[in-house]
Amino acid sequence: MNTTSRLKPGRHTPGRQNQARAALTGSLAVALLALAPHALAAESLRYVALVDGGKQAGHQIVTRGDDGTTKVDFIFKDNGRGPELKEEYTLAPDGTYKSYKVQGTSTFGAKINENFSRDGDAVQWKTTSDDGRQAVQGTALYQPLGGSPATFSVALNALAQRPDGKLPLIPSGTLTSRKVDQAQVQCGTQSRDVQLVAVTGVGLVPTFAWATMDANPRLFAYIYPGFLQLIEDGCQAAANDLETRQKKAEGAALVDLAKRLGHPLAGTTLIRNARVFDSEKATLGVASDVLVKDGKIVSVAPAAKKTAAADHVIDANGKVLLPGLFDMHGHVGRWDGGLNLAAGVTTVRDMGNDNATLQQMMGEIKDGTLMSPDVVPAGFIEGESKFSARNGFVVKNLDDAKKAVDWYAQHHYPQIKIYNSFPKDILKDTVAYAHSKGMRVSGHVPAFLRAQDVVDDGFDEIQHINQLMLNFFVDDTTDTRTLARFYLPADKTDGLDLDSKPVQDFIQTLASKQVVIDPTLATFEFLHQREGEMSPIVADVADHLPPDVQRGRRAAEMNIPDDATAAKYNRSYAKMVEFVGRAYKAGVPVVAGTDEMVGFTLQRELELYVKAGLTPAQVLQIATWNGAKYSRTLAERGSVTPGKRADLVLIDGDPTKDIADIRKVALVLKGETVYYPAEIHEALGIKPFAPAVKVAAGH
């Protein structure tokens, strides 16, 4: 049940997780068919996966034989990648697995080979990243690590048979669900009653799914709003209405969460005795008092024994006060806010989303009903092909591209993002048109071009370290819309001479033209992570995370068949980190983004910049001043300056000396609302990293 991330938008798919990753490693799998053995005769059921308002991107066919064995054929392909799985299982009378196995490939080509069996009280399992044995008494459901969406229906049915509504999990944890909505849908001539359930106990946030309402419930539809609709074949016409209802139900839950974890601060607030980080100069100042009123910074003055009166007081006691951090590469989801804010992220630049969904979220943030960083949007424009990512606008010609730019300009987007299948023959004219509207242009390097080509065509910024490295490994016949865009840099960067003229010339071109790079180094650590190794993103904090999240983060994504390949990929990745350090020192502007699990990934990204040779203070400048500068929000964000927004982060340590201290967030002030990261982390099942510094009544 660890496969929701297989179906989300982004690189890994948020929100995500990045969005297939963004969003949310360790959440429950989406689901299809599985009933208790006594409930079914032989039958087959088909589901379709729809993206971009109805384009089919996959299927799942679930067949149960007369012998009680269920077989699943699952495939999902979006943006030139996706999992392919063959699954088989049998169920015990209580609806849990008696036997289970799955084989296939993950989103990025890693081999999946997993099996589980139960004999009485003895259970055992083996995956490519872990194995175990346990003694289990009574009902307990194995949680597949690499399974298909069918696993969720197994869980729903087993839960329905539990009088207390709680289902113990193997290896650990407890699953619960609750009904949050009900609807009647039409499938052809047949009317069906379905229910929306919120399932908790796996991952960091609830998973929502539409289920049947019979005695043996199974999944009817899984919807990831703005990206995916997975629904029984023949019922596609009901998907949009179900999505609307689900967004409303999720919204109500999110409003409650915001009320519980956000603490309004009306009037004036004095932050006493804080060492303020000067993000413009990348220096740490002496102890200061910072006065805030109605969400704006009023004054920054040397700390005084006798302070001005204020409605609220925060005693920083010498802790470091930073401007709110920027995540410059997000694909925001409505449930991302907690992890982001707990990491001190108060602004996210969204680098590609469903336009209607993003507009809704931005409206909710403005209205104060969604707990979230503020969002600076980048308009996503893709070209039409079988590899297309289906968010934003998908265009065929220059006229389509100009209409997309016009829409984004009218909606006040400061930049656009070009994607992999964008037609190269209209690229230069599209960039010029966006510039004529006052917009920045960034993106991936479209297929059959090199990074040098997009710089020549006027790009202001390039996303991802692999897109930069591909500059040296491709020609005009290389199709980088396939998994080649990951495997080529992993295989060839090891042999790249960073002192060579082509590399040095490219870096100097980036510097002279001030082309920004958004390397997302932490995200691309998946290029060298092997099965069973903890993801470097969370390796230093894994013991703070729920056990199921830890387990999921040991699963690799690349096919790394042997030690020699692993050593090569490690050396390649080390050179990618070195490239970023060399580019920065040569004067290339850098911004810090994630495109992966929110919050923790940004913290790891900043550590990697230090590894690349930057000082911790320079890294903090990138995460604050540069973020504001290149999102065009410097007039109101990015520094602790009178007149700017009171987006402030109090750190229980000194990240200007040890960048790892960036994880010790004691308090976050976003405008007129204060958040305690320890409180947020506890609500998400995460062990806190620093004691909360609480707001006290003023005088």
Sole residue written with tokens 């040095």: 504
Q: Is residue 194 located within the same domain as residue 63? A: yes
CATH number at residue 631: 3.20.20.140
β-bridge partners, 696: 313
Residues 6+ apart with CB under 8 A from 53: none
Sole residue written with tokens 């989103």: 107
What is the CB-side half-sphere exposure of residue 492 using CA atoms within 13 A? Answer: 14
Give the model's pLDDT for residue 128.
93
DSSP, residue by residue, 534-600:
PPTTTGGGGGGS-HHHHHHTT---S---SHHHHHHHHHHHHHHHHHHHHHHHTT--B----SSSTTH
Q: Is residue 381 located within the same domain as residue 413? A: yes
457: helix, strand or coil: coil
d(CA 633, CA 644): 10
Containing domain of residue 283, as a range? Answer: 263-324+638-699
What are the tens digits of pLDDT across the range 193-237? 999 999 999 899 999 999 999 888 998 999 988 888 999 999 999
Identify the domain boundary among 637, 659, 685. Answer: 637
Phi, psi at 277, each rounded to 5°: -80, 125
Q: Is residue 370 located within the same domain as residue 288? A: no
Q: Is residue 298 located within the same domain as residue 317? A: yes
Arithmetic mean of pLDDT, 137-163: 90
Bridge-based pairing state of the strands 696-697 and 374-383? unpaired
Helix, strand and coil in the chain, % to nearest 5: 30, 30, 40
Identify the domain boundary among 220, 238, 261. Answer: 261
| Domains held by the chain: number | 3
Q: Is residue 133 located within the same domain as residue 238? A: yes
Give the model's pLDDT for residue 42.
54
DSSP conformation class of 460? S
Amino acid in position 278: D
Give the model's pLDDT for residue 529.
96
Q: Is residue 459 located within the same domain as residue 515? A: yes
235 or 305, greater pLDDT:
235
Closest CA to 270 of 226, 243, 303: 303
Alpha helices in 262-389 (DSSP H): 337-342, 355-367
d(CA 249, CA 260): 17
d(CA 508, CA 582): 10
Identify the domain boundary among 637, 653, 676. Answer: 637
Residues 6+ apart with CB under 8 A from 133: 122, 123, 124
Among residues of the chain, what percentage have pLDDT more than 90?
85
Structure tokens at 94: 């209580």
Q: Is residue 470 located within the same domain as residue 577? A: yes
Q: Is residue 624 located within the same domain as residue 652? A: no
Closest CA to 211 of 156, 155, 253: 156
Q: What is the mean pLDDT of the chain?
A: 92
Q: Is residue 227 located within the same domain as residue 337? A: no
Amino acid in position 348: V
Bridge-based pairing state of the strands 461-463 and 55-64? unpaired
d(CA 479, CA 246): 38
Q: Is residue 697 located within the same domain as residue 630? A: no
Amino acid in position 221: A
Least confident of 52-56, 102-106, 145-149: 52-56
Amino acid in position 187: C
What are the tens digits of pLDDT across the range 365-404? 999 999 999 999 999 999 999 999 888 999 999 999 999 9
d(CA 323, CA 339): 18
What are the tens digits of pLDDT across the range 20-30? 333 222 333 33
Q: Is residue 64 located within the same domain as residue 168? A: yes
Sole residue written with tokens 């609807």: 183
The count of other CB atoms within 10 Å of the CB of residue 646 is 26
Q: Is residue 648 located within the same domain as residue 587? A: no
DSSP conformation class of 420? T
What are the tens digits of pLDDT across the range 533-576? 999 999 999 999 999 999 999 999 999 999 999 999 999 999 99
48: helix, strand or coil: strand
The count of other CB atoms within 10 Å of the CB of residue 193 is 12
CATH number at residue 288: 2.30.40.10
